[in-house]
Amino acid sequence: MNYREATDRIINTLRLNNVDQHISRRYVLSILKNITNQIISQKLLDRTIGLEMNLYSEISCIEMERIEVIKCPIIEFRQCKIVMRSKKPLPKSIWSRNGSSIKEVTSIDGAFALTLQSPEQIRRNKNRQYRIKGDVYCYEDGQGYLWILDEEIYAVRVLKITPETEKIEGCNGENKCKSLWDYEYICPDKILDSVFKDTVQTLLSTYKAIQPDQNPNGNEGN
């Protein structure tokens, strides 16, 4: 299902409820994405959708660049010998208390997997007397930048859930000049009905809240 099909379904439902047919499609998409993100975040937290591979988008080549350690904004990383950061932010993640919705970060050919950790976990691991040899730690920050520590790696592959599927092609070096509405809408089938129902309810409540008072004297129904 693409963005156009998803928003058409909601707009048609709104029209059945006598909502103005000129409601902004972009506004509908914005509300739909917000509610989808909230529900997916909950499901990621209780680990009920993590294995649904059709939810994940592949970014085949994220370019990295070396950052001066002393200028690194993440204090925990200033203990590292090498700090790499993605040149651009990744498409938006869906976050839960378990972290971002990145499933895996690997070398370009997929032969080597990096270990996703929080800055605090990375600091603790580095301070342990015995460490697992060969582990390369990475982290996605709140602005969408990917960080790699203590290894000079200039490109990686990322698999993640993102509500910004329209940005994947640009990250992968493609430029198909597609309309926004032709990009894929990501949502697990098992929660699709709940997402659409909550979106419609939210839009209906918003629409009712902005309706002008038809009786300026304050006497409703007279």
208-217: pLDDT as tens digits: 766 555 454 5
Instruction: Convert 44-78 to b/e letters by CB count within 10 Å (16 or more is b).
Output: beeeebbeeeebbbebbebebeebeeeebebebbe
Residue 146 has pLDDT above 60, yes or no: yes
Say how far apart CA 76 and CA 67 lie, in whole Å: 14
SS3 at position 144: coil
Distance of CA 124 to the CA centre of its chain: 27
Backbone angles phi, psi at 64, to 5 degrees: -115, 155
Mean pLDDT, all residues of the chain: 86
Nearest-Å Rg of the Cα atoms of the chain is: 22
Residue 72 has pLDDT above 50, yes or no: yes
Q: Which residue has the tokens 């156009």?
A: 4
Contact in structure between 84 and 114 (CB atoms under 8 Å): no
Contact in structure between 102 and 119 (CB atoms under 8 Å): no
* Domain limits, the chain: 3-8+18-52+181-199, 54-171
Say how far apart CA 97 and CA 123 lie, in whole Å: 19
pLDDT per position as a tens digit, 22-50: 788 999 999 999 999 999 998 888 877 76
CA distances from 131 to 7, 41, 107, 217 (A): 50, 32, 21, 75
pLDDT at 18: 78
Stretch 193-208: mean pLDDT, rounded?
A: 91
- Amino acid sitting at position 165: T
Percent of the chain residues topping a pLDDT of 90: 59
Q: Which residue has the tokens 């032709």?
A: 182
Say how far apart CA 26 and CA 14 lie, in whole Å: 15
Query: Residue 53: pLDDT band by 50, 70, 90 thresholds?
Result: confident
CA torsion 152-155-159-162 (nearest 10°) is: 110
- Return the bridge partners of 156, or none: 62
